[in-house]
Amino acid sequence: MKAIKVGLLGIGTVGGGTFQVLRRNQDEIRGRAGRAIEIAMVADLDVERARAIVGDACPVVTDARQVIANPEIDIVVELIGGYGVAKTLVLEAIAAGKHVVTANKALLAVHGTEIFAAAHAKGVMVAFEAAVAGGIPIIKALREGLTANRIEWIAGIINGTTNFILSEMRSKGLDFATVLKEAQRLGYAEADPTFDIEGVDAAHKATIMSAIAFGIPVQFDKAHVEGITQLQAADIKYAEQLGYRIKLLGIARRRDTGVELRVHPTLIPAHRLIANVEGAMNAVVVQGDAVGTTLYYGKGAGAEPTASAVVADLVDITRLATADPEHRVPHLAFRPDAMSDLPILPMEQVHSAYYLRLRVADEAGVLSRITTILAEHDISIDAVLQRESAEGERQTDLIILTHDTQERRVNQALAQMQGLPSVLAPIVRLRKEELA
């Protein structure tokens, strides 16, 4: 059978990895796909760098539209990134009847509804395994492997850059800026690394997973997004003393009234497997009603780990390209006419346990005033830690762990506690999840 022809838009970190993996493993890939998969044309603005990778294997052009217009090309792989030109090119490729593979989670989390509708109407596939947790086949697992389940929740370390930063800061005592530079050098970080450190990239990925897990549209604009830039070393240390690790988690959880969709630094019991995921590694825990808890672990960023997912999508499309579109797996697991309108819940309605750190005057009655406020808001305390004040110091840190409660109650209690004269600094509030 004749080779399936691929056009690559963008040959940077992931594009370069994709080129190498396809070339190195071509025999195995042909054996699995039933046809050879060939990169027939590459477009990149940096044509010299692109030619240095591609050699004379195929033509290299600067204009991505030349690739889309090439009638030989069956699959367009978009590895440029961002919401701008990438969106136009993906929609143009679909309009030209090409299947699309993309690693672009930003694009799908924000414009997925439009893109999937266009692909459905045209009868082409849009595959995006590389967009979530890089090389880990989490899209495949959620959409196909766990298809029997009512999925209850997903919680994942889905940004390699921030996990690398948190790990290196904790284990080597390195500072934030140094570790971020190293993550950029290693090719983990986004073109704009604020997407990584402010939690935006993780929220893009959590948004995509929430859609597949619960059959809802992608709704990035409703996600709660907090990164790691406000996280303080003192809280990492106190969490450790209390038996917890702090990780940037992306969480999607089904409740009776809607879906929680949130990214924030989270305390996790130190004995959980996911609490021990270090460096740029990713891990996703999925709770299904039939299967119970499952865990997926691996490299979520970097050239070849991400290329592993891109090439898997190319093989999938190669196998299915001639199938009746009605028999393909729907883009978001549920058929378009079976999507749910379960809303994304506002943060005030989210349920979680909490870690609170209060800088308080070291004087009689402070603890009782604080616990009274918590009790008035029906918030039950799980543990309290009070740091011994240093000699001559008239203030101390008070750390409180709560049981599960509603965020609205915690907000109200915090506002009241913050007003106490013996609370001397802004209260630190982190969320805590048992993940069991």
Ligand X SMILES: N[C@@H](CCO)C(=O)O
Ligand Y SMILES: NC(=O)c1ccc[n+]([C@@H]2O[C@H](COP(=O)([O-])OP(=O)(O)OC[C@H]3O[C@@H](n4cnc5c(N)ncnc54)[C@H](O)[C@@H]3O)[C@@H](O)[C@H]2O)c1
Binding positions for ligand Y, 40-59, rule CB under 6 A: 43-46
Closer by beta carbon to Na ion, 76 or else 312: 312
Binding mask 92-131 for Na ion (x = CB under 5 A): -------------------------------------x--
Tokens 């709770």 locate to 287
Closer by beta carbon to ligand Y, 163 or else 306: 306
List Cβ neighbours of 71 (8 Å cut-off, separation of 6 or more): none
Q: Supply the Cα-derived Rg of the chain in whole angstroms.
A: 24
Binding mask 84-113 for ligand X (x = CB under 6 A): ------------------------------
Among the listed residues 19, 116, 164, 188, the single contact to ligand Y using CB under 6 A: 188
Using CB under 6 A as the binding rule, whether residue 69 contacts ligand Y is answered as no
- List the structure tokens of 216: 């809802």
Among the listed residues 101, 301, 401, 410, the single contact to ligand Y using CB under 6 A: 301
If residue 169 lies in a helix (H) or strand (E), which one and from where to where?
Answer: helix 160-172
Q: 5, 205, 247, 299: which is the annotated catalytic residue?
A: 205
From the CB of 126, what's the least distance to ligand Y, in Å? 14
Burial 180-217 (b: 16+ CB within 10 A, else e): bebbeebbbbbeebebbbbbbbbbbbbbbbbbbbbbbb
Q: In sequence order, which ranges of 190-280 are alpha helices (DSSP H)?
A: 194-197, 200-214, 233-241
Closer by beta carbon to ligand Y, 193 or else 265: 193
Please tell me the distance from the alpha carbon of residue 20 to that of residue 53, in angstroms, as a whole number. Answer: 9
Calculate helix-pair angle for 200-214, 105-122, nearest 10 degrees. Answer: 40
* Of 94-102, 187-195, 223-231, 288-296: span binding ligand X (CB under 6 A): 187-195
Q: Which residues pair with 401 in a beta bridge?
A: 355, 383
From the CB of 301, what's the least distance to ligand X, in Å? 4
* Of 30-38, 146-154, 158-166, 394-402: span binding ligand X (CB under 6 A): 158-166
Residue 16: name the closest of 41, 49, 58 by CA.
49
Using CB under 6 A as the binding rule, whether residue 300 contacts ligand X is answered as yes
Residue 170: name the closest of 263, 232, 98, 79 by CA.
232
Using CB under 6 A as the binding rule, whether residue 198 contacts ligand X is answered as no
Query: β-strands 37-43, 60-61: how paired?
Result: parallel
Please tell me the distance from the alpha carbon of residue 110 to that of residue 208, in angstroms, as a whole number. Answer: 9
Using CB under 6 A as the binding rule, whether residue 79 contacts ligand Y is answered as yes
Q: Could you tell which of ligand Y, Na ion, ligand X, none binds residue 129, using a CB distance below 5 to 8 A set by kind?
A: Na ion
Among the listed residues 85, 361, 367, 420, the single contact to ligand Y using CB under 6 A: 85
Q: Could you tell which of ligand X, ligand Y, Na ion, none binds residue 347, using a CB distance below 5 to 8 A set by kind?
A: none
- Annotated catalytic, 205? yes
Please tell me the distance from the alpha carbon of residue 185 to that of residue 310, in angstroms, as a whole number. Answer: 22
Among the listed residues 108, 133, 180, 248, the single contact to Na ion using CB under 5 A: 133
Among the listed residues 93, 200, 216, 309, the single contact to Na ion using CB under 5 A: 309
List Cβ neighbours of 213 (8 Å cut-off, separation of 6 or more): 142, 151, 154, 252, 254, 286, 333
202 and 109 in contact (C-beta within 8 Å)? no
- List the structure tokens of 132: 């979530």
- List the structure tokens of 223: 């996600």
Q: Could you tell which of ligand X, Na ion, ligand Y, none binds residue 43, using a CB distance below 5 to 8 A set by kind?
A: ligand Y
Q: Could you tell which of ligand Y, ligand X, Na ion, none binds residue 433, using a CB distance below 5 to 8 A set by kind?
A: none
Using CB under 6 A as the binding rule, whether residue 134 contacts ligand Y is answered as yes
- In the complex, the residues that contact ligand Y under the rule CB under 6 A are 9-15, 43-46, 64, 79-81, 85, 103-104, 130, 134, 187-188, 190-191, 301-302, 306
- In the complex, the residues that contact Na ion under the rule CB under 5 A are 129, 132-133, 136, 138, 309
* Residues annotated as part of the active site: 205
- In the complex, the residues that contact ligand X under the rule CB under 6 A are 134, 159-161, 188-190, 196, 201, 300-301
